[in-house]
Structure 1
Amino acid sequence: MERRPTIVDVARVAGVSKSTVSLVLQNSPLVRAETRRLVRETMDKIGYVYNRSAANLRSSNVGLIGLVLNDLRNPFFTEFATSLQMALSERGYATVLANTDEDAAIQAQVVSAIIEHGISALVISPAYGEEMATFDLIARAGIPTMQVLRKVDPRIDLFPFAAPDYRLGSLIATKHLLDLSARRIAFVGGLEGRAVTQERMSGYLHALAEAGMEPLVLAGRSSRAFGREAAEILSREHPDVDAAVCFNDLVALGMVSGFTKMGRTVGQDFRIVGFDDIEECSQVYPTLSTVHCGIAEFGKQIATTILGWLEEQRAPAPEALSAVELVVRETSGRGKRA
């Protein structure tokens, strides 16, 4: 006896995704009329019969994606969240969003809560500290989960990781400043002991080692306030430093503010390169040179990846790094020093 056609068969014959067929069966307004008609005609053609009672048993978690982020106050993460959510919405999925504010205890709490709400998959940019409390919980739930932007759990076969290529970013930023004949370059921002700090600093360290230049690292919170403080420290304690690569754009923007307050001209007296390329970088004065991470496109890419995992059983690569590029603006200028 031949098997009964399934929703996967309908999707294959109609040339649409499994989620589109599901939306048609739910009479969702998100599906265009011509697509709805094609799917219905395909069902009739292959003899598919919708088992509504079975579907109801599954409906508690169909179409709901969890998104947990460590710092929504940072525009970098906000842009990522917006891009991911919009891309998922276009495919008929809803997003449950939670901010952990860099608190591991809150992270474990919110992850537990959204799992109880019946999510299909989870995307997490994790907080540091007591990581196993969160990731062991996810593992027990058996939910497809991606680590993004930060990697805290080494089990990337179970929790695949994706991020921009941080090492390359700080490498090209540092080489840019070296090409401008910077006498000494500092790396500013990022808390000590965090893997993401080391990753964003590694290219800087490599470039300086090649150039035979001693590094100077000012670790601290990735905030404007620390950037302003760092400008004062460098001017007072390290007058030989005339350039900096920053952990992120917030630190860089704080440094610009701090140097301006002291009467130093950023882009001439001191050159600065940020990291992330948030929207404000091109709007401030002087405009901020930075490492562009393409975070909006990255969000869309993660949406495609997680839905491929859900709908087509295509597990992501254990680790994937996306392209970055240097955007040169006024804070590092374009010409070499005299």
Structure 2
Amino acid sequence: MPQRREVRDKVTIVEIADAAGVSKSTVSLVLTGRGSVKPETRERIRQAMDALGYVYNRGAANLRNTQSKIVGLVLNDLSNPFFAEFAIGVETVLQMAGYVAFMANTSESVVRQTQVMRMMREHGAGGIILCPALDTKPEDIAWAGGLDTALLVAIRRLPGVAASVVIPDNVAGAARVTRHLLNLGHKRIAYLGGMHSMVVRQDRFQGCAEAMAGAGQAIDPGLNIESMPTRDGGFTAMGSALALPDRPTAVVCYNDVVAIGAMLAAAKRGLVVGRDIAIVGFDDTSEARHVSPALTTIAVDAGGLGERAAAMLLERITNPASPATTHIGPADLVIRESCGAYQHALAAAG
């Protein structure tokens, strides 16, 4: 293997092949990621490239090839740990496939979302994974359905948009966690967080309401409190719920971030979560496992949804004429301390 030397502008594939002791075509396969090469041979070629100071110009390669190796990842709220975990799943699959993700955070701004998607398409992105900003409408993505840039919508459905979709089972998950609270004996249950215009909010509230109806109960309209899906939103919404003369005994929250804000608001008022009031979330982010008390929630595997989203988008990029598909991920109940289930079990046993 040659000693590492100064980077040169014109290191050729032939030089790399000679240094690695392989054919020129084998080097080409490694560079483009289009063929099967033994791991040890691939590593020998990588070492030769490093030693010779060769840097593969993927931008120039994309000009020579019809298929871009760039994928846009547009997230609506990167401050939410759920979307960070989702992004990791996306990047894991893209990296394995030889793609690079250009990521943007819209902070729930449709204007920003339109700008970054336009820029991504102008820079040749072969596809875009979009977690839509609040109040996104089909006309905001008028280009969807064309063959130039594949689109996959994730986490929030966009009815009327011609795109593949990856979402968790929001209705079933919310119904599952609400039934759990009902089984613990709660009747005065609040629903906190999310804005009514959000499709995910509508789905999760539907699941909660259906579970209540199945038990012969109904959500008091005064306990259906909207807020931005943030920690501050949850804190404020919980403050409103606790200020009521007949406060709820249990709270179903739009997501884990809202639930953690609600827990902080309860603690500020001297309530012990899991004893004086039950609080549950949705998503099962890493933060849900580490707060105190640990948060009962619905696990939807954000990383797994990201991996599925990337795989489905790559399929659309490879086969642009293939039909749009929908994946609904499982939503499983994870019982921890914040719902008071363990306190309930101890009381029953005593």
State the alpha-carbon separation in 1 of the partners of residues 297 and 272 from structure 2. 18
The Cα of 1:218 is off from its aligned counterpart by: 0.8
Asked whether the equivalents of residues 108 and 134 of structure 2 are also in contact (C-alpha less than 8 Å), the reply is yes
Residue 151 of structure 2 corresponds to 145
Residues 57 and 245 (structure 1), Cα distance of their counterparts in 2 relative to 1, 3 Å cut: same
Asked whether the equivalents of residues 299 and 332 of structure 2 are also in contact (C-alpha less than 8 Å), the reply is yes
Tell me which of 159, 163, 185 is aligned to 2:163. Answer: 159
Letter in 1 for 2:341: R
Alignment of 1:129 with 2:132, yes or no, is no
Alignment of 1:106 with 2:137, yes or no, is no
Name the SS of the counterpart of 1:253 in structure 2: helix
Alignment of 1:92 with 2:98, yes or no, is yes
Residue 255 of structure 1 corresponds to 262
State the alpha-carbon separation in 1 of the partners of residues 340 and 28 from structure 2. 54
**More off after superposition, 183-192 vs 133-142:** 133-142
Alignment of 1:175 with 2:173, yes or no, is no
Alignment of 1:309 with 2:346, yes or no, is no
Tell me which of 314, 318, 326 is aligned to 1:319. Answer: 326
State the alpha-carbon separation in 1 of the partners of residues 136 and 118 from structure 2. 15
Name the SS of the counterpart of 2:143 in structure 1: helix
Name the SS of the counterpart of 1:275 in structure 2: coil
Residue 124 of structure 2 corresponds to 118
State the alpha-carbon separation in 2 of the partners of residues 100 and 314 from structure 1. 29
Letter in 2 for 1:277: D
State the alpha-carbon separation in 2 of the partners of residues 98 and 189 from structure 1. 24
Equivalences for residues 1-338 of structure 1 within 5 A: 24-25=28-29, 27=31, 33-34=37-38, 57-59=63-65, 61-129=67-135, 131-139=137-145, 142-155=148-161, 158-215=162-219, 216-311=223-318, 315=322, 317-335=324-342, 336=344
What value does the CA root-mean-square deviation take over the aligned residues? Answer: 2.8
Asked whether the equivalents of residues 164 and 323 of structure 1 are also in contact (C-alpha less than 8 Å), the reply is yes
The unaligned stretches of length 5 or more in structure 2 are 1-24, 43-60
The unaligned stretches of length 5 or more in structure 1 are 1-20, 39-54
Name the SS of the counterpart of 1:200 in structure 2: helix
Name the SS of the counterpart of 1:105 in structure 2: helix
Name the SS of the counterpart of 2:142 in structure 1: helix
State the alpha-carbon separation in 1 of the partners of residues 34 and 27 from structure 2. 8
Asked whether the equivalents of residues 260 and 266 of structure 1 are also in contact (C-alpha less than 8 Å), the reply is yes
State the alpha-carbon separation in 2 of the partners of residues 317 and 28 from structure 1. 27
Percent identical pairs in the alignment equals 32
Asked whether the equivalents of residues 147 and 320 of structure 2 are also in contact (C-alpha less than 8 Å), the reply is no
Residue 52 of structure 1 corresponds to none
Residue 19 of structure 2 corresponds to none
State the alpha-carbon separation in 2 of the partners of residues 285 and 232 from structure 1. 19
Name the SS of the counterpart of 1:119 in structure 2: coil
Name the SS of the counterpart of 1:137 in structure 2: coil
The Cα of 1:67 is off from its aligned counterpart by: 1.0
Residues 119 and 227 (structure 1), Cα distance of their counterparts in 2 relative to 1, 3 Å cut: same
Where in structure 1 do 4 or more consecutive aligned residues deviate above 6 Å? 29-32, 35-38
Name the SS of the counterpart of 1:111 in structure 2: helix
Name the SS of the counterpart of 2:203 in structure 1: helix
Asked whether the equivalents of residues 108 and 133 of structure 1 are also in contact (C-alpha less than 8 Å), the reply is no
Residues 34 and 189 (structure 1), Cα distance of their counterparts in 2 relative to 1, 3 Å cut: same
Letter in 1 for 2:154: V
The Cα of 1:137 is off from its aligned counterpart by: 3.1
- In the superposition, the TM-score normalised over structure 1's length comes to 0.81
The Cα of 1:275 is off from its aligned counterpart by: 0.6
State the alpha-carbon separation in 2 of the partners of residues 185 and 82 from structure 1. 34
Name the SS of the counterpart of 1:286 in structure 2: coil
The Cα of 1:100 is off from its aligned counterpart by: 1.1
Residues 59 and 30 (structure 1), Cα distance of their counterparts in 2 relative to 1, 3 Å cut: closer
